Amino acid sequence: MNKDAKNLKSVFIGRLRRLILICVALYVVACIGCASFQRSLIYFPQHQTAEQVNESARVAGLERWNNPAGQAIGMKRMATKQPAAGQVLIAYGNGSWTVGCAHYVDDIQSRAAFDVFILEYPGYADRAGSPSQKSIFLAADEALRLLDTNQPVYLVGESLGSGVVAYLAGTHPDRIAGIILLSPFNRLTSVAQEHMPLLPVWLLLVDRFPSEDYLRNYHGPVGIMVDGRDDVVPAKFGLRLYDNYAGSKQLWNYPGGFHITIMEPAPKFWGEVLDFWQTNQISAK
């Protein structure tokens, strides 16, 4: 090999090394950025004033749900017929809020005389704090403690809220009579890895919401709804959760649906959910 060829090879190798170093540096920066701003990629809180929240609640026919200290922790609507037949606690998805779940309250109460409560996450609407797995789980624990222990408790969780519901069911299995999960995941790390396949999300993610782990401690009826065209939480993650659950379960699979899309009349769907809960209530201790 002559001198010019050797020089060209040396230049090429040097440039290749620099390119590799730049790529490695960019990859490290991307990982650091993902780790640093991960919660802003998970939670999308709507910030509102107390006046805005109160007006929205009034229009939706909801009222504030306060803890014993007088702090608002969510919304509620009591059944028109008392005593109620049971209680439902709703945990919403990451871009929603309590009043955004008013349609669930309408649909459920059109089918049964249930008192319905909706948990507001810390940092959402006008609730103080900031959202994280820890803060939301603590808020969910408080909400469950405030429900009547003499009535059955059912849980509804959509998207991110399915992880909250799975946590409550697995941590307080004796309190929960049945659950329904809308567009759920087996664990948040799986969904995040799907959206960012080139990054080691399984290593970087702090808030993991490992639903399938929590549900191993629960043995009551679990309903799961998935949508075939869901590009936010692909159906395969909800199906994994369904397949791995060993207790009484029922699947609603809508191949043409998008994220959190119930592809049948809502009263019919909720009637099926309530029938499933009541038929299998013996499974809930």
Return the higher-pLDDT residue of 259 and 40.
259
Task: Note the pLDDT of residue 283.
Answer: 41
Token code pair at residue 263: 């592809």
**What average pLDDT does this structure show over 172-180?**
97
**How does 210-245 read in b/e, with b if 16+ C-beta sit within 10 Å?**
bbbebbeebbbbbbbbbbeebebbbbbbbbbbbeeb
Return the higher-pLDDT residue of 4 and 150.
150
pTM of the predicted structure, to 2 decimals:
0.87
Flag whether pLDDT at 1 surpasses 70. Answer: no
Summarised one tens digit per residue, pLDDT across range 132-162 is 999 999 999 999 999 999 999 999 999 999 9
Give the C-alpha separation, 36 to 89, whole Å. Answer: 32
Residue 117 in contact with residue 147, Cβ under 8 Å?
yes
The DSSP bridge partners found for residue 117 are: 76, 89
- Residue for token pair 């969904």: 191
Task: Note the pLDDT of residue 224.
Answer: 98
Residue 99 in contact with residue 75, Cβ under 8 Å?
yes
Q: Which of 27-31, 214-218, 233-237 has the lowest mean pLDDT?
A: 27-31
Task: Note the pLDDT of residue 108.
Answer: 97
Q: Which of 38-47, 85-94, 244-253 has the lowest mean pLDDT?
A: 38-47
Strand arrangement, sheet containing 114-119: 63-66, 72-77, 114-119, 86-91, 153-158, 176-182, 222-227, 249-254
